[in-house]
Amino acid sequence: MADFLTIQNGRPFKRIQVPYLHFSEFRTNLLKLAFKGAEVVQFFAYQEDPSIKEVLMLGFNAPSRDFFSYEEEGTVQLMAVLRKDHQLFAVQTTAPETFDALSRQDMRFQLFEREIAEQFGLIPKDHPWLKPVRYHANCRGVKDVFGNDYTQDIPGNYPYFQVEGEEIHEVGVGPVHAGIIEPGHFRFQCIGERVLHLEIQLGYQHRGVEPLLTSVPFKRLPILIEGIAGDTAVGNALCFSQAMEALLNLTPDDGAKTLRTVALELERIANHVGDLGALSGDVAFNSSAAYFGRIRGEFLNLLLVMAGNRFGKNLVRPGGVTMGLIEDSRNLILSKIKELRPEIKEVGDLLFSAHTVQARFDGCGVVSREIPLVGVAGRASGIDYDVRQAFPTEKYSEIPACLHTRTHGGVFSRAMVRFEEILHSLDIIERLLQRPVTTQPVVWTGEVSLASSSCVTTLNEAWRGELSHCVLTDSRGGILRYKIKDPSFHNWTGLAMALRNEEISDFPLNNKSFNLSYCGFDL
């Protein structure tokens, strides 16, 4: 793999080490690697500050003359990180203003290319379905790829996909919904009760997180990071902290690693339990909806014990954690887990053994494993990928994998995977908290200078799945580009696919079984 730099999760590297290829070569190599089964972790554009660009060019070993003349055309760099067999590969290039879309050959790049087009105004030529991702103007101030006037409402001048025919009817739901959920627009093309196509339009919560992170003082970063998606506060804070630690050459102590792992697992349990309750509620199975709803609160309360708030904010910081765990709290968590485990098992048994529930869950919203999903939804489709096993950080290298018994890709599998993960996470926490935990609390003042001209990619298994942050620094140790990829970025497509040929009345159930993030996607 000389064409790629093999990188480690959470280990920094100088950007000059990353092979800098001519775009056509970059494209061919990526497609070749993807063809061999690699999945895209990060694929994004960034703008170099001019001083560094020169250094990069000189450092690169084989730039042809042709390369430099080509170079003058483009001012935007592309960076890609792919994963294959527990290895990460990085490569970069300079993108021409109009480039041949990779998604013509491989659909795994389609959303990433649309994002590049939207954020930087580059045109992926012959992209099969070039539509906005989040609906905002590009950061370079060049002509908009989609020809949108952003003073108008979403979706601008984008015509939604439409099926024509006498008996076809269209149902649009949202962005304002009947329940307390985030805004998103869902457009169904139906024949009778059957859904032919579901189009999902997001972007209503676009706040411009990525550019914001490069412009604020370092001190504010953790607060912003924890606000990316409120339900993944620990996950995002962990990705961020690991990235900062890499660039600052910090190593958290063993106790901090333990507490961070425990917090991430508590976040996972609380959300999974809540999801199982919501799934029960959707099929009008009241008993487990009520019990799981209560149990979710118990786990949020355990996060309160650890972090001082129920959503695990303000706990994980670069270098460690902000507060240790006193013996009383450790015993409280252990005794609560001992008390709740049989309850969870019992309620889960009630849910999964009720034949009316099985009739609703089983075979509903099946997604083929060919769709590149991550996390819970991916594992439910039989994709054996868990960041905790593939790229372990913190304490995960000591922890055995979670085994799943149902991987048919439907609602039942997604619910079962959640249930099994809850029990697995309970074991992890019990195991990690067996002995007293001591750690030196840290404070993030933000008065630091990051390793210059470097890059780090961090991956963690947040409760939805693979969450990844990628940080590029400039020559002065500031942040040049902060790229965030929520697991929902992959999985929204899965929801759209799950609905094909399903009944429209099963949409809420499928939606809950994925329970994807709107704000994590919209950034």
Where helices occur in 121-253 by DSSP H, the ranges are: 209-215, 221-226, 233-248
Which one of residues 91, 154, 269, 357 is an interface residue with another protein (CB under 8 A)? 357
3-state secondary structure of 199: strand
Q: Looking at beta carbons only, is 412 or 489 nearer to another protein? A: 412
Of 61 and 353, CB closest to another protein: 353
Q: Which is nearer to another protein, 356 or 397 (CB)?
A: 356
* Token pair recorded at residue 148: 């949108």
Closest approach of another protein to the CB of residue 507, in Å: 5
* The pair of three-digit structure tokens given for residue 102, joined into one six-digit string: 């990779």
Q: At its nearest, how many Å lie between another protein and the CB of residue 440?
A: 44
Instruction: State the nearest-atom distance from the C-beta of 505 to another protein, in Å.
Output: 4
Structure tokens at 438: 């001591």
CB of 365 to another protein, least distance (A): 12
Cβ proximity of 484 and 43 under 8 Å:
no
The C-alpha torsion from 103 through 104 and 107 to 108, rounded to 10°, is -30
CB-based contact 516:495 (threshold 8 Å) = yes
Q: Distance between CA 176 and CA 198 in Å, rounded?
A: 17
* Residues 191 to 230 in contact with another protein, rule: CB under 8 A: 193
Task: Give me the residue label for tokens 């989040």.
Answer: 134
Indicate which single residue of 159, 165, 179, 342 sits in contact with another protein (rule: CB under 8 A): 179
- From 59, 230, 382, 508, residue interacting with another protein (rule: CB under 8 A): 508
Does 360 sit near another protein (CB under 8 A)? yes
Angle at CA 97, nearest 5°, toward 96 and 100?
Answer: 65
Mapped onto helix, strand or coil, the DSSP state of residue 123 is strand
**Smallest gap from residue 353 Cβ to another protein (A):** 12
Tell me the C-alpha to C-alpha distance, in Å, between residue 153 and each of 134, 156, 174, 175, 295. Answer: 12, 6, 13, 11, 40
Q: What whole-number distance in Å separates Cα of residue 175 and Cα of residue 331?
A: 45
State the minimum distance, in angstroms, from the CB of residue 281 to another protein: 8
Q: Closer to another protein by CB, 55 or 354: give it.
A: 354
Query: Cα–Cα distances in Å, from 70 out to 43, 56, 74, 441?
Result: 21, 16, 8, 51
Select 23 or 291, whichever has its Cβ closest to another protein.
291
- Looking at 153-161, 224-232, 352-360, 485-493, which segment touches another protein (CB under 8 A)? 352-360
Segments of 29-128 assigned E as strands = 39-47, 76-84, 87-95, 98-100, 123-125
Task: Map residues 235-274 to x or -, x wherever contact with another protein holds by CB under 8 A.
Answer: ----------------------------------------
Where helices occur in 19-109 by DSSP H, the ranges are 23-35, 50-59, 65-71
| CA 464 – CA 191 distance, rounded (Å) | 32
Nearer to another protein, 134 or 512 (CB): 512
Binding to another protein (CB under 8 A) within 267-296 occurs at: 280, 282-287, 289-291
The two tokens of residue 263 are 């917090």
Distance CA(154)–CA(199), nearest Å, equals 14
Choice from 176, 178, 403, 443 touching another protein (CB under 8 A) = 178
Query: x/- contact string, 292-331, with another protein (CB under 8 A)?
Result: ----------------------------------------
Binders of another protein among residues 117 to 176 (CB under 8 A) are: 169-173
Q: Tell me if 3 sits within 8 A of 91, measured CB to CB.
A: yes
Task: Return the C-alpha torsion angle 288, 291, 296, 297, nearest 10.
Answer: 160
Residue closer to another protein, measured from CB, 110 or 280 = 280
Q: What are phi and psi of 466, to 5 degrees?
A: -60, 115
Residue 282 or 461 with smaller CB distance to another protein: 282
**Is residue 414 a contact point for another protein (CB under 8 A)?**
no
Q: Tell me the number of residues near another protein by CB under 8 A.
A: 30
For the bound state, the minimum distance from the C-beta of residue 188 to another protein, rounded and expressed in Å, comes to 8
Q: Least Å distance between CB 213 and another protein?
A: 36
Report the nearest approach of another protein to the CB of residue 347 (Å): 11
Helix axes 110-120, 488-498, angle to 10 degrees: 120
- Verify binding: residue 356, another protein, rule CB under 8 A: yes
* Rounded least distance, CB 445 to another protein, Å: 46
Contacting another protein (CB under 8 A), which of 364, 428, 459, 471?
Answer: 364
Q: Which residues bind another protein (CB under 8 A)?
A: 169-173, 178-179, 193, 280, 282-287, 289-291, 354, 356-357, 359-360, 364, 503-508
